[in-house]
Amino acid sequence: MNEEGYVEEVSRQVLSHPRYQHLEPGLVRALVRQELRKGRSPREIVKTVRSKLHQVAASYLERPIDYSAWLERLRTLPRDRQHPQVKAFCLEMMRLHASTRERLPYLEPFYQQVLAPVGQIHSLLDLASGLNPLATPWLPLAPDAQVVAWEIFADMVDFLNHFFTHLGIRGRAEQRDLSMTLPEQPFQVVFLLKTLPCLEQLDKTLSRRLLESIPADYLLVSFPTYSLGGRRKGMRVNYAQRFEQLVADKPWSVWRFDFPTELAFLVRKGGR
């Protein structure tokens, strides 16, 4: 078997597990290739790549989400994103992803405070979004705002597209791996929420490249201040230092916001 055939075969084995089956296949192949170069056996490669995919993505979901059941419920909801039933549905669903679940106790003040300098949002790109697009009812979106979300889980992306359509949001979700594709289209606001530490596990240079290259007026970047296991480990201080280094030589305005489990920075890169 040639090398590409071998990569395909091992990637297929990685993806055969229900927790990983919906992940972006290009990311899986890239990780398999990396391990192959280290001379590992197929069994070791499958184990190592699954463990990496667990760290960066699957660990945020306690169990696979039954999207067809959620979709059935979505179809019964009013089409107004401010309707209490819709907001209750969004809050309930955001509990299924550890990142959005942690933000729920301060969801409303979070977006009120971090987006105050921005005002109304006309276009938004939510990178490595998880289920955060379900927070759209709490965002100051203009009536015709464009919302785009990128994620690596195909089933999550598919659900988010149904969510946008049902609520008449001019939006789309796309299955995109940030270690392969950087955004090129300009947006007024780009979210990179609790994502840079995750991406650095795939590529140490990604944080800097993303911050520098994203064409946005405003970037909202945040970091977790607790590990998934609930430990504190000086994360707030360390991430703050790391972020300050990343923006130290840039002519950008930066606002800092401290929340119980999250440290956020709003960066004004330019534009309006």
Ligand X SMILES: C[S@@+](CC[C@H](N)C(=O)[O-])C[C@H]1O[C@@H](n2cnc3c(N)ncnc32)[C@H](O)[C@@H]1O
Note the residues at the interface with ligand X (CB under 6 A): 27, 56-57, 60, 99-100, 128-130, 132, 150-153, 177-179, 193-195, 198-199, 202
Q: From the CB of 204, what's the least distance to ligand X, in Å?
A: 13
Nearer to ligand X, 100 or 136 (CB): 100
Helix (H) or strand (E) holding 72: helix 67-75
Please give the full DSSP string across 103-114, using - where no structure is assigned. HGGGHHHHHHHH
- Please, which residues have CB within 8 angstroms of residue 256's CB and are 6 or more apart in sequence? 240, 263, 264, 265
Do residues 263 and 240 make contact, with C-beta atoms less than 8 angstroms apart? yes
Nearer to ligand X, 144 or 184 (CB): 184
Q: From the CB of 72, what's the least distance to ligand X, in Å?
A: 23
Nearer to ligand X, 15 or 57 (CB): 57
Nearer to ligand X, 60 or 159 (CB): 60
Q: From the CB of 94, what's the least distance to ligand X, in Å?
A: 8
Residue nearest to ligand X (CB): 130
Report, in this order, helix, strand and coil percent for the chain, each rounded to 5. 45, 20, 30
Q: From the CB of 157, what's the least distance to ligand X, in Å?
A: 10
Burial 63-84 (b: 16+ CB within 10 A, else e): eebebeebeeebeebeeebeee
Q: d(Cα 53, Cα 70) in Å, to the nearest integer?
A: 24
Q: From the CB of 35, what's the least distance to ligand X, in Å?
A: 16
Question: Residue 149: beta bridge partners?
Answer: 126, 173
Q: What is the spatial order of strands in the sheet that 141-151 belongs to? A: 170-175, 141-151, 121-126, 187-193, 216-224, 262-268, 253-259
Nearer to ligand X, 43 or 209 (CB): 209
Nearer to ligand X, 131 or 141 (CB): 131
In this structure, what are the phi and psi dihedrals at residue 179, rounded to the nearest 5 degrees? -80, -10
